[in-house]
Amino acid sequence: KFRMPTADNLVPIRLDIEVDGQRFKDAFTWNPSDPDSEVVNFSRRTVKDLKLPPAFMTQITQSIQSQLAEFRSFEGQDMQAIEKIVPLKLDIRVNNTVIRDQFLWDISNFENDPEEFARTLCKDLNIEDPEVAPAIAVLIREQLYELAVQNVASAKEYRMGKKGRRGPESLTSSKSGNGAIDVVKLFGSKGSVIRKRKEWHLYEPVVDILSTEEAEALDAREERHAR
């Protein structure tokens, strides 16, 4: 049945709210089994801690509830159970840190932990900003969430194809499989799983530390773009 293909079934939540000229952006994960009353409590605490205008409380509550409702609308539905290795990409800026990377992820392994992966990645790359790892984990979860939704659509296509053609060959007609990687095709039945030297640069993480002036210039540009 539908769920996040991770150890913890947490929903990625992203907020981008503007009220009376003030803008609030945040991203975090939420347990969909928590009672809805926790959303109101969270919104109230956020507004109080950040000293935001009271009008933000309603907007934050509605945004979180809307995203949770979308996630819950898929609960109970079948997912297409096929082993898939998919490429995930990072292109993110958190404060003064910019990180770009891509890697392969096994979405059939429900023991994978995006938060632990993000912490390890930051440790290996000597990234000291404590806000970077949580942001990376949310970005990974957003991509996995999208893939999980696609797998629900794949299961529906498979059932319809099975009724019409009576064969497992209809499984290959899924559109969501386009982003997945066939391991046999990638490495070959007798090939090595070690990546070819000419492809190393494609999977090498890139980390840039911006100066305060560069970060402020990017913030100003993003603000103008948002307006």
Amino acid at the residue 119 = R
Read off the pLDDT of residues 54-80 as tens digits, 9 standing for 90 and up. 999 999 999 999 999 999 999 999 998
Cα 159 vs. chain centroid, distance in angstroms? 27
Whether the CB-CB separation of 12 and 140 falls below 8 Å is answered with no
Lookup: tokens for 102? 């891509």
What integer pLDDT is reported at residue 181 of this predicted model? 60
The better pLDDT of the pair 178, 216 is held by: 216
Task: Find tokens 């003030």 and name the residue.
Answer: 22
What integer pLDDT is reported at residue 172 of this predicted model? 44
Per DSSP, helices labelled H in 73-131 are: 114-124
Q: Tell me the CA distances in angstroms from 67 to 16, 90, 210, one per residue in order.
A: 13, 22, 32
Lookup: tokens for 91? 């292109």
What integer pLDDT is reported at residue 189 of this predicted model? 53
Q: Give φ, ψ of 208 to 5 degrees.
A: -120, 135
**Which pTM was predicted?**
0.83
For helices 55-72 and 37-49, the axis angle rounded to 10 degrees is: 140
Task: Find tokens 């797998």 and name the residue.
Answer: 151
Mean local confidence (pLDDT), 102-121: 94
In whole angstroms, give the CA distance from residue 61 to residue 96: 29
Per-chain mean pLDDT for the chain: 87
